[in-house]
Amino acid sequence: MKTFHNPHHAGHAGQQEMFRGRMVPCHEVPARLDFVLAELERRPLGPLAPPTVDDSDLGAAIARVHDPRYLAFLATAWDQWVAMDAANAQRDALPSVWPLANRHGFRNDVLPRNFAARLGLFSFDSGSPLTAGTWAAARGGAACALAAARALANGDRSAFALSRPPGHHAGPDFLGGYCFLNNAAIAAQALREAGHGKVAVLDVDYHHGNGTQTIFYERADVFTASIHGDPATEYPFFLGHADERGAGAGLGFNLNLPLPRGSGVKVWRAALDTALQAVRDFGASALVVPLGLDTFEGDPISGFTLKTGDYAAVGAALASAGLPTVFTFEGGYAVDEVGTNAVNLLEGFQK
Ligand code: Q9C
Ligand code: ZN
């Protein structure tokens, strides 16, 4: 399988995230991707290259998934932050005020003139620092996703969009969970436009793929499934419950499989079988896998107990769907092991 890696990823390097009233060092660090690249050099799965997609193609692919008002904000957010106060050039931008959109009469239809308010309008947590290089890095990730979808359109069986920041928590008009542009959704939409009538997204990150779910919630042409820590106790808390099944034309085309914190490989694999059966029943002709490795027992912010030796079989199970597949790199914060775990899974898929 071809891997498209993002040459701009390291430009996005947050210093600290807000966690329970304290600022703590960011978990989502550039070294994560470097470890995956290093492992891919040790155990090649195929060609490794930066994406080559045309700028206007890329802009169009991103705009198919994200709202214009959000994209206009994100593209210049850093400049707006520094314009607010020149000293901000030394600090990451983090939100601290939110509109509780659609609740208690708080409005999200009037764009505030204050940047801090705009940042809150488009964010759902204070753990996702926006930095000088965030937009270029996020755009580079979208390019990887688009290139991976195009590789499938050209007959490849699979492709890996290796980028950070991750994407699956980013929605049509919001960032959060370390995510800014939803790479998996961009790949799924590009596959639709390349002629796949039905595309499935099977999210295996520890955290519910709330952004992807929201993007496709009312659509019947993209089936979204996610296996994750139960939002009753786990981030992102406010979405990812089993009773969210889609709405309108999309009713029945979203599947959430929340599992209790502490779940091990046996329970997790059973959920994977359920999700794969649902993908088969849906009749997808292409698959996107938001690949988070934070299901690993050693992950510092997550609560499942999968082991390094489990991932090859997970890859093989995903391959059993028999579908052309795009993988997008998502979470996984046990930095020393994330490369081994990712490549174990992808090698298992490819065997
Ligand atoms: N300070 C992804 O895995 N914060 N995002 C958890 C730790 C948010 C995870 C608390 C976790 C987001 C792509
Ligand atoms: Zn995650």
Distance, CA 274 to ligand 1 centroid (Å)?
Answer: 25
C-alpha pair distances (Å), 222 with each of 93, 104, 250, 264: 33, 32, 8, 29
Q: Is residue 106 part of a domain?
A: no
How many angstroms does the Cα of residue 237 sit away from the middle of ligand 2? 13
The total number of structural domains that make up the chain:
1
Tokens at 52, concatenated? 């080559």
Regarding the beta carbon of 165 and ligand 1, being less than 6 Å apart is answered no
Name the pTM for this structure. 0.97
Whether the Cβ atoms of residue 165 and residue 333 lie closer than 8 Å to each other: no
Q: CB of 14 closer than 6 A to ligand 1? A: no
Residue nearest to atom 11 of ligand 1 (CA): 177
pLDDT of residue 226: 99
Q: Once rounded to an integer, what is the mean pLDDT over residues 216-234?
A: 98
* Tokens of residue 204, six digits: 């295996």
Cα gap 249→290, rounded to integer Å: 24
Ligand 1 contact, 236 CB (< 6 A): no
Question: Minimum mean pLDDT among 50-54, 101-105, 180-184: which range?
Answer: 101-105
Q: Is the pLDDT of residue 310 over 90?
A: yes
Identify the residue whose C-alpha is closest to ligand 1 atom 5: 177
User: Is residue 302 in a domain?
Assistant: yes
Residue 103 lies in a domain: no
Cα-Cα-Cα-Cα dihedral sign, residues 264, 265, 267, 268: positive
- Nearest CA owner, ligand 1 atom 12: 177
* Residue 104 pLDDT exceeds 80: no
Three-state secondary structure of 281-339: HHCCCEEEEEECCCCECCCCCCCCCECHHHHHHHHHHHHCCCCCEEEEECCCCCHHHHH
**Residue 99: per-residue pLDDT:** 83
Known catalytic residue at 169: yes
Ligand 1: which atom is nearest the Cα of residue 207?
3
Q: What is the pLDDT of residue 283?
A: 98
Assess whether pLDDT exceeds 70 at residue 228.
Answer: yes
Ligand 1 pocket check for 209: Cβ under 6 Å? no
**Does residue 231 belong to any structural domain of this protein?**
yes
Among 260, 251, 254, 63, residue whose Cα is nearest residue 173: 63
- Any domain includes 66: no
Nearest CA to ligand 1 atom 3: 331
Domain CATH code at residue 292: 3.40.800.20
Q: What is the pLDDT of residues 252-288, one digit of tens each?
A: 999 999 999 999 999 999 999 999 999 999 999 999 9
* Position 116 in a domain: no
The reported pLDDT for the residue numbered 102 is 67
In this structure, which residues have their CB less than 5 angstroms from ion ligand 2?
205-207, 292, 294, 331
Nearest alpha carbon to residue 131 among 20, 22, 6, 28: 28
Within-domain flag for 128:
no
Containing structural domain, residue 250: 2-51+133-350
Residues 80-92: tens digit of each pLDDT: 999 999 999 999 9
DSSP 65-87: TS-HHHHHHHHHHHHHHHHH-GG
Q: Which residue(s) pair with 48 in the sheet?
A: 3
How much distance in Å is there from the Cα of 93 to the middle of ligand 2?
Answer: 21
Rounded Cα distance between 141 and 84, Å, is: 28
Closest CA to 338 of 299, 302, 306, 303: 299
Q: What is the pLDDT averaged over residues 117-139?
A: 97
Q: Mean of the pLDDT values across residues 107-136?
A: 95
Backbone phi and psi for residue 4, each to the nearest 5 degrees, phi listed first: -105, 115
- pLDDT of 229 over the 70 cut: yes
The pick from 9, 33, 179 for probing ligand 1's pocket by mutation, whose C-beta has the most ligand atoms within 8 angstroms, reads: 179
Specify the pLDDT at position 101. Answer: 65
Active-site entry in 5, 8, 12, 169: 169
Contact 137/165 with Cβ under 8 angstroms?
yes
Structure tokens at 135: 């937009």
Question: Which residue do the tokens 């999968």 mark?
Answer: 306
Cross-strand partners of 259: 229
pLDDT of residue 107: 87
pLDDT at position 7 is 98
Give yes or no for residue 331 CB within 6 A of ligand 1. yes
Average pLDDT over residues 291-295: 99
For residues 306-325, average pLDDT: 98
Q: Which atom of ligand 1 is nearest to the CA of 18?
A: 1
Q: How many whole angstroms from 23 Cα to the centroid of ligand 2?
A: 19
CB 234 less than 6 A from any atom of ligand 1: no
Residue 203 lies in a domain: yes
Over residues 58-68, the mean pLDDT reads: 98
